[in-house]
Amino acid sequence: MQRCSHSLQHHQLELPYSLIDTSTCKLFSKSIFNDTTSFNITFNFSIAALIGMRVLRSLEVLKLGVVNYLDALKLQEKLVLDRKSHRICDTLLSLQHPPTYTVGKRQTVHNLLIPQSELEQIGAELHYTQRGGDITFHGPHQAILYPIISLRDMGIGARSYVEKMELTMIEMAAQYGVKACPGLAGETGVWVGERKIGAIGVRISNGITSHGLAFNIDPDLSYFRHIVPCGIADKEVTSLRRETDSVLPPEEIMQEQLVSCFARIFGYDNLIWKEDASVVTDGTE
């Protein structure tokens, strides 16, 4: 059964504005804002609106490697607060997790098909979250992106956001000759035929996003046998490794490719890459 056909549209980049010297305006920042960063973000967007041009949009990317799920969750919660108060710009976490099952806010733990007492035997953890969606699995060789971004600044709603997340994974799969599509009605994530290759589960609080997407590069798919993935019964889970004849590059490169797909789909012009693992352990940079 053919699910869909998509033509991916890349965002055209616009030139940065250079018509106004902002140096004198920054003198007012301390009297209005708590810090210079929040002033800069607000000022730049205001000036861009006045002169009818778009500011070059920056995205800070934290490359974190394999991170314990609870550590990543704690970091997301901190970054969401920082983004709400304009202390940081839009930020993207690029990482992987050890074997972990997570349940969404609907608490559908009945879709875990083995007793919780047996999880330790298979080397997996279980965590309850406040994201949308059902139960899913995260593990090594699965590329995960957690965007901490302002949908209000971007001018899009929740539905458009999820569609762009889907397009991010669709474009990634297409780079390796794999045709992926959004699910049919009631089927979340991204699919190759009847097989799911990417999952989405998000949380949006006051216009700021957290949690995100998981794209299967080459995870151990046997872990999915112990759940009803995303609450959709009788459907297979697949991976890029299974679906392509292409030789896959090192996973670090593939995670960077997925980040680049995300940036193109969401219209970011400037990627700021960071690899400071200390943000996971102490919550600071």
pLDDT digits 0-9 by tens, 74-117: 999 999 999 999 999 999 999 999 999 999 888 778 889 999 99
64, 167: one domain: yes
111 falls within a domain? yes
Q: DSSP letter at 10? A: P
49, 66: one domain: no
2 falls within a domain? no
49, 71: one domain: no
In this structure, what CATH number is given to the domain that contains residue 244? Answer: 3.30.930.10
The domain boundary, picked from 10, 29, 55, lies at: 55
Question: Which pLDDT score is estimated for 111?
Answer: 87
Lookup result for tokens 């108060």: 85
Residue range 15-32, pLDDT digits in tens: 333 333 333 334 434 444
The domain boundary, picked from 5, 40, 55, lies at: 55
6 falls within a domain? no
Mean pLDDT to the nearest integer, 122-149:
95
Q: What is the pTM of this model?
A: 0.81
121, 248: one domain: yes
| Residue 66: closest CA among 143, 126, 136 | 143
Hey, is 40 helix, strand or coil? helix
Mind telling me the catalytic residues?
230
Mean pLDDT of the chain: 84
37 falls within a domain? yes
143, 173: one domain: yes
Q: Which long-range contacts (CB under 8 A, 24 or more apart) does 185-190 make?
A: 186/232, 187/232, 187/235, 188/133, 188/230, 188/232, 189/230, 190/166, 190/215
9 falls within a domain? no
5 falls within a domain? no
11 falls within a domain? no
67, 207: one domain: yes
Q: How far is CA 250 from CA 132, 141, 256, 257, in A?
A: 31, 10, 10, 11
- How many domains in the chain? 2
Q: DSSP letter at 224? A: G
Does residue 156 register a pLDDT over 60? yes
264, 181: one domain: yes
171, 34: one domain: no
Residue range 212-263, pLDDT digits in tens: 999 999 999 999 999 888 777 878 999 999 999 999 999 999 999 999 999 9
Residue range 274-284, pLDDT digits in tens: 987 666 655 44
Q: DSSP letter at 127? A: E
Question: Which pLDDT score is estimated for 41?
Answer: 56
Residues paired with residue 147 on neighbouring β-strands, in sequence order = 92
120, 197: one domain: yes
Q: Which domain holds residue 174?
A: 58-282
15 falls within a domain? no
Q: Where does 87-220 show beta strands of DSSP type E? A: 91-96, 100-103, 125-128, 136-138, 142-148, 181-182, 190-192, 195-205, 208-216
274, 201: one domain: yes
More confidently predicted of 268 and 14: 268
75, 199: one domain: yes
